Amino acid sequence: MSDFIALENVEKVFEVRRKTGFLKRERREVRAVDALSFTVARGEMVGYIGPNGAGKSTTIKMLTGILTPSGGRLRVAGIDPSRERMRLAHRIGVVFGQRTTLWWDLPLIDSYRLAHRMYRIPDARYRENLDRLVELLDLGGLLDVPVRQLSLGQRMRGDIAAALLHDPEVLYLDEPTIGLDVVSKTKVRDFLRELNTERGTTVLLTTHDLQDIEQLCSRVMVIDHGRLVYDGTLAGLHEAGESERTLVVDLERELPPVEVTAARVVKVEGARQWLAFPAGQSAAPLVADLAARYPLLDLSVREPDIEAVIARMYAEKAVS
Amino acid sequence: MGAGRLYTAVAAGGFRRYATYRAATAAGVFTNTVFGLIFVYTYRALWDERPHLGGYDQAQVVTYVWLAQALLSTLAIGGGGVEEELMERIRTGDVVIDLYRPADLQLWWLAADLGRAFFQLVARGLFPFLFGALCFPVYLPADAGTWVAFLGAVLLAMLVGFGIRYLVALTAFWLLDGMGVAQMAWLLGYFCSGMLLPLNVFPGALGEVVRALPWSSLLQAPADVLLGRGEPLRTYLFQATWAVVLLGAGRLVQSAATRRVVVQGG
């Protein structure tokens, strides 16, 4: 078994008609996904990020078979999703953070009974999976509660359980932590980490919350304007984005910007100065140099903000 | 059969979803009863002036009124069926969830609508009908066979009703907001199904046309069977033909919609 998910020069072109006058329409092609190629091995947990409209959801929809690619080759578990959508559906799980698969008006358990029938899960396995998911996702007291009465965090955990009852080999998560509070986010992340390590489920995670990525994914893919602009480790992303750490120093008194070779001053505010230096470089020599030549009171190091890194990355691509 | 159990579960869910809204159901029963009273007095005045209009006597036309009130929400003639929810899901993009499931979109919604229809038949149909039968002189068939045949016609009416409303709902894939189409369809359905007046009373070409349209399968067809007019088998054949045509058209439009149209929203 080679790559579990494989895309080769996949593209998706939408035709958009725009009204340009009375009864006049202008046809325009929009490339939502353009020459996209990547592979995901079985058991990987990959973050898939990009700004709004970058083509993330279009990719997910093609991977589930709802949308047919305009060109290129796409396989999930050896299956061409759009041709054999039904067969693939039994092997994948999908969670859309902003939508729900659960029956709004009925108790949570009804939606699970429906999944039992829909995915033709053998009775014993259904009960076993349900028990396990209820325990891990802390759904015990919620099974008889109508879904409309659940909090967002509870509903999200309910939706994740619904997507996993049939033991899918791959789970697509589209914004699974959107709108959740810190406690709920942590619960969801802990569960996903366990799912991936214990059961080897392949996970493709789309998110705007970069903490999701930092805590869960060893590999990140960044998509922008339908093209893959980065594919690699999170650490590599910092390098690729030329990210910087910030050293904040409090001096004894107001001084002109300090002069050091390893960093540059980016901001001065009274006796406090901000120094930027490459993320890959140690702060120790810089601190030693400063301490030797300037009257230091206090200092702190701020880690690079991955969001800023990615924002810079998008901006660069837009220029080039 | 696995698929049969799935759609049975969907239908059971549809039934129970509507059953959760008890106050709405009670209000609906009250409304149906009040409208039944208004129609009864209006029809009686009309039939006093024109006895045997459309071939109905006073008792038969009163039965017709209460049957109409019983089937109004069952067949969602004036709205209230699953098409509203489906259109909303297409508009918001939630339909993406229906599309990735290992289930057929049309069968799924048909099952959900049948579950809804059975609930409405029991909860909103039975009471106004019994109320009418107890408080007014009505015509009711004496043999069990006619009642069974009548239920058969109601079941076929459910299929035809869904067939029409599913097509209406799918227009939302192109129009995004299909409410205008839906409202037109409800208005048309209200008149053409015989909710306003039995289709038998319409003279000439208008009568011929409305009686041939699919909507006449909804109320007129079960009424014909219950009131012992015409052969039940001929009525069934008429209804079944429309059911096949409409559900078949629904499949064609569905495949065009899901192939060509962008699912809304990220």
Q: For residue A94, which residues of chain B lie inside 8 Å, CB to CB?
A: 100
pLDDT at position A205, please? 93
Is position B266 within any domain? no
Residue A316's pLDDT band, with cuts at 50, 70 and 90, is low
B20 at the A interface (CB within 8 A)?
yes
Q: With 60 as the cut, is the pLDDT of residue A224 above it?
A: yes
Q: Mean pLDDT across the stretch A68-78?
A: 92
Nearest CA in chain B to A30: B262
**B96, B101, B259 member nearest A89 (Cβ):** B101
**A66, A106, A117 member nearest B96 (Cβ):** A66
pLDDT in tens, A253-305: 888 898 888 888 988 998 999 998 887 788 889 999 988 899 999 999 887 76
**Helix intervals (H) in B101-203:** 105-120, 126-135, 144-170, 172-175, 179-192
How close A277 gets to chain B, by Cα (Å)? 37
Q: For residue B5, which residues of chain A lie inside 8 Å, CB to CB?
A: 117
Tell me whether residues B2 and A117 touch, CB distance under 8 A.
yes
Q: Mean pLDDT across the stretch B69-79?
A: 94
**B16, B94, B263 member nearest A66 (Cβ):** B263
* Domain carrying residue B66: 3-260
Q: Mean pLDDT across the stretch B133-139?
A: 94
> What interhelical angle do B232-260 and B105-120 show, nearest 10?
130
Q: Mean pLDDT across the stretch A110-118?
A: 95
Residue with the bigger pLDDT between A250 and A237: it is: A250
Q: For residue B8, which residues of chain A lie inside 8 Å, CB to CB?
A: 117
Mutate to test the interface with B, among A86, A113, A114, A147 (most CBs of B within 10 A): A114
pLDDT at position A317, please? 60
- In whole angstroms, what is the distance from residue A118 CA to residue A116 CA? 6
Is position B265 within any domain? no
User: What SS3 state is found at B90?
Assistant: helix
pLDDT at position B263, please? 52
Q: Check if the beta carbon of residue A150 is closer than 8 Å to that of residue A108.
A: yes
Q: With 70 as the cut, is the pLDDT of residue A91 above it?
A: yes
Number of domains within chain B: 1
pLDDT in tens, A99-108: 999 999 999 9
pLDDT in tens, A24-44: 778 888 888 999 999 999 999
Is position B87 within any domain? yes
Q: Angle A125-A129-A135 (CA atoms, 0-180°, nearest 5)? A: 150
pLDDT at position A319, please? 52
**A90, A101, A118 member nearest B6 (Cβ):** A118
Nearest CA in chain B to A86: B102
pLDDT in tens, B142-180: 999 999 999 999 999 999 999 999 999 999 988 878 888
Tell me whether residues A117 and B13 touch, CB distance under 8 A.
no
pLDDT at position B150, please? 97
Report the percent of chain A where pLDDT is more than 90. 50
Q: For residue B25, which residues of chain A lie inside 8 Å, CB to CB?
A: none
User: What SS3 state is found at A211?
Assistant: helix
**B6, B17, B97 member nearest A99 (Cβ):** B97
- In whole angstroms, what is the distance from residue A257 CA to residue B110 CA? 73
Report the percent of chain B where pLDDT is more than 90. 83
Is position B222 within any domain? yes
B4 at the A interface (CB within 8 A)?
no
pLDDT at position B262, please? 54
Nearest CA in chain B to A166: B102
Mean residue pLDDT of chain B comes to 92
Residue B207's Cβ-count burial label (10 Å; 0-12, 13-18, 19+) is middle
Give backbone dihedrals phi and psi of B235, rounded to 5 degrees, phi first: -60, -45
pLDDT at position B50, please? 93
Residue B266's pLDDT band, with cuts at 50, 70 and 90, is very low
User: What SS3 state is found at B238?
Assistant: helix
Residue with the bigger pLDDT between A263 and B108: it is: B108
pLDDT at position B261, please? 55
Tell me whether residues A68 and B259 touch, CB distance under 8 A.
yes
Residue A306's pLDDT band, with cuts at 50, 70 and 90, is low
Size of interface A-B (CB pairs under 8 A): 63
Is position B95 within any domain? yes
Q: Mean pLDDT across the stretch A114-120?
A: 95
pLDDT at position A14, please? 83
**B2, B9, B21 member nearest A114 (Cβ):** B9
Nearest CA in chain B to A114: B9
pLDDT at position A100, please? 92
Partner A, chain B 176-235, Cβ-Cβ below 8 Å: none
How close B86 gets to chain A, by Cα (Å)? 14
Q: With 80 as the cut, is the pLDDT of residue B2 above it?
A: no
pLDDT at position B14, please? 94
pLDDT in tens, B5-56: 999 999 999 999 999 999 999 999 999 999 999 999 999 999 999 999 999 9
